[in-house]
Amino acid sequence: MDSESLAIFTSIFTELEIKKYDSFAKKGEFSKKIAFVESGILRAYFNNDRGEEYNKTFFTEGSFVGAYSSLVTGEQNLIDIDCLTDCVLYIAEFQDITQLYDKYPHIERSARILAEYLFVKKEKREIELVTLEAKERYAIFQKEHPNLEQLIPQYHIASYLGITPTQLSRIRSKN
Amino acid sequence: MDSESLAIFTSIFTELEIKKYDSFAKKGEFSKKIAFVESGILRAYFNNDRGEEYNKTFFTEGSFVGAYSSLVTGEQNLIDIDCLTDCVLYIAEFQDITQLYDKYPHIERSARILAEYLFVKKEKREIELVTLEAKERYAIFQKEHPNLEQLIPQYHIASYLGITPTQLSRIRSKN
DNA sequence: TTCATTTCTTTACATATGTAAATGTTTTTG
DNA sequence: CAAAAACATTTACATATGTAAAGAAATGAA
C-alpha cells in the first residue's frame, strides 16, 4: 500500500477495549465491523443444530478479526466471535473501508490480496482436515500457535481440532 | 465489470481441447494458466505422503479452473488437476490477467470479488467437513452436483467426501 | 459377443473417535 | 483458606470409518 492509502486506511480505526467472554460478532446479525487485534485472544466458532460448537479460528495479537463471510457477502452471519481473554482492538466499519476502493485502488488491491491469502489458508486447512488424523492436526496446531495452549482451555483446542475433549486427552496421554 | 474491461478480459482466452485423463496442472509446477470450462469435467486433487488422494474440487461446465493457490502466491503447486472427461476449455495466462489490474481496476475488482467468493465457499466446506458425518456430506454433494454422480466413478465421489469407496458403498446401501 | 479390466459391493476385522458418567485436578471466588 | 465451579482425565461401551480381500456387476476392447 502507498503511504497515502495507508494513512487514510489507518485513520478510520478507533481503539476499543473488550472484556473476556464479551461478544464481537453474533450469529444472525449482518456484520458491519472489522478490527485489528492489538492484544488478547478471540475465537470464531460455528454452532450446529445439535448445539455442538466448532472453533473455526483463533485470532491473536497482530491479526484482523471479523465475520469475513458476512462482511463480503452481506448475508447473515453464521458464526459467533467472542473474546477468550480481555482484548484491545482497533475497530472500523467495514463499509468505511470498501468505500475507499474507488478512490484508492491500492486499498482494494490489499483487499484482493488479503482475500486470496485467506483462501489459501482455508484450502490448507481443508486438506488437513480431510487427510490427517486428529493427532497430526494437533501437532500442526501446536506449531502454528506455540503459546496458545497455555492460555486457553483444552476443550477449545479440541473443538478447533474437530474432536471431543476426551479424544484430545487420549492423544495427549499417548505422547 | 464494464464492457471495455470485459472485452479486454475475454480477448485473452483461447480455445483448447483436452482429452480424458490429460493433465491441466501438475503438483510441483509453478502454475501459470487459468481456464473457463466450456464443456467437460475436471478434478483438483491432493496427494498425501501415503499416496492417498483427496478430491478437492470438481470443475464442470461454466466454472473457472486453475491451481488458484499457486497462481496467487507464486509458490509451487501442491495439487494436481486433470480431466475426468474430454473437455473444451478457454484458456489464458494468469499473468495476462493480473497485468490488466493497473489499467482496468474493474478487472482487479472482479478478482477481489472472486477471491472473496472462493473463500466463502471454502469456509462452508470446512464447516461441513468438521461438523457433518460423511452421510450428510454425501447428501450435500448430490444436491450441489445433481448430474455428476452418473458421470464419474463412485470412488472419485468417495474421495471428495473424504471417505473410502467401501464406506460410500455402505452409506448408499443404507438408503 | 466374449473376455479382460474396471468398478462396486460385501465381509470380517481393526482403529479412531464419540458418549456418558465417574473421578481427579486446577482455578476461581467468597 | 475453604468451598464451589470449571476443567481434565479416565473408564466402559458404542459407532463411524479404515483395511484387506473376495466376489459381483458393469464397462470396454478385441
**pLDDT (tens digit per residue) in B13-43:** 999 999 999 999 999 999 999 999 999 999 9
Q: Tell whether A111 and A175 lie within a shared domain.
A: no
Mean pLDDT to the nearest integer, B125-146? 93
Q: For chain B, what percentages of helix, strand and coil (3-state, to nearest 5) are there?
A: 45, 25, 30
Report the SS3 class of residue B116: helix
Looking at residue A6, the DSSP 8-state letter turns out to be H
Kindly report the CATH number assigned to the domain that includes residue A110. Answer: 2.60.120.10
Q: How far is the CA of A28 from the C1' of D10 (A)?
A: 39
User: If you average pLDDT over every residue of chain B, what do you get?
Assistant: 94
* Shared-domain flag, residues A110 and A165: no
Residue B121 CA to residue B57 CA, distance in Å, equals: 11
Supply the pLDDT for residue B4: 93
A94 and A165, same structural domain?
A: no
Nucleotide nearest to B137 (CA to C1'): D16
Q: What type of residue is B86?
A: D
pLDDT truncated to tens, each residue of chain A (175 aa)?
899 999 999 999 999 999 999 999 999 999 999 999 999 999 999 998 777 899 999 999 999 999 999 999 999 999 999 999 999 999 999 999 999 999 999 999 999 999 999 999 999 999 999 999 999 999 999 999 998 999 999 999 999 999 999 999 999 998 6
One domain, residues B89 and B136? no
**pLDDT (0 to 100) of residue B89:** 97
DSSP state of B8: H
User: What's the pTM?
Assistant: 0.92
Judgement on whether residues A94 and A15 belong to the same structural domain of the protein = yes
Provide, in whole angstroms, the distance separating residue A110's CA from nucleotide D4's C1'.
51
CA distance A29 to chain B (A): 17
Candidates B49, B118, B123, partner chain A, best to mutate (most A CBs within 10 A): B123
pLDDT value for A51:
79
**Strand D contacted by B164 CB (< 7 A):** yes
Average pLDDT over every residue of B75-97: 96
* Same-domain status, B78 and B147: no
> What is the rounded CA–CA span in Å between residue A68 and residue A64?
10
Same domain for A121 and A138, yes or no, is no
**Is there a single domain that holds both residue B88 and residue B147?**
no
pLDDT band per the 50, 70, 90 thresholds, residue B174: confident
For the residues of B158-172, what is the DSSP string, one character each? HHHHTS-HHHHHHHH
Q: What cell does B30 get?
A: 509453478
Residue of A nearest to B98 (CA): A109
Query: How far does CA A26 lie from the centroid of its chain?
Result: 13
Least CB–CB distance from B129: residue in A109, A117, A126: A126
Single out the residue in A89, A106, A125 at which a domain terminates.
A125
Which percentage of chain B shows pLDDT scores above 90? 93
- Structural domains of chain B, count: 2
Which range marks the domain in which residue A150 is found?
Answer: 132-175
Say if residue B83 is in the same domain as residue B113.
yes
| Closest CA–CA distance from residue A6 to any residue of chain B (Å) | 18
Whole-angstrom Cα distance, residue A20 to residue A41?
9
End position of a domain, from candidates A91, A110, A125: A125
For residues A119 and A136, state if they share a domain: no
pLDDT score, position B175: 60
- Asked if the Cβ of residue A10 lies within 7 A of any atom of strand C, the reply is no
pLDDT-derived band at B67 (thresholds 50, 70, 90) equals very high
List residues bridging with A15 in a β-sheet: A90
Cβ <8 Å between B119 and A68: yes
Residue among B105, B109, B130 minimizing CB distance to A129: B130
C-alpha span between B131 and B122 (Å, rounded): 14
CA gap A87, A93 in Å, rounded: 18
A68, A119, A130 member nearest B129 (Cβ) = A130
**Residue B99 distance to chain A (closest CA, Å):** 13
**Is the Cβ–Cβ distance between A12 and A96 less than 8 Å?**
yes
Q: Which of residues 124-163 of A touch strand D (CB under 7 A)?
A: 153-155
B113 and B168 in a common domain: no
- Does residue A166 share a domain with residue A121? no
Confidence (pLDDT) at B1: 85
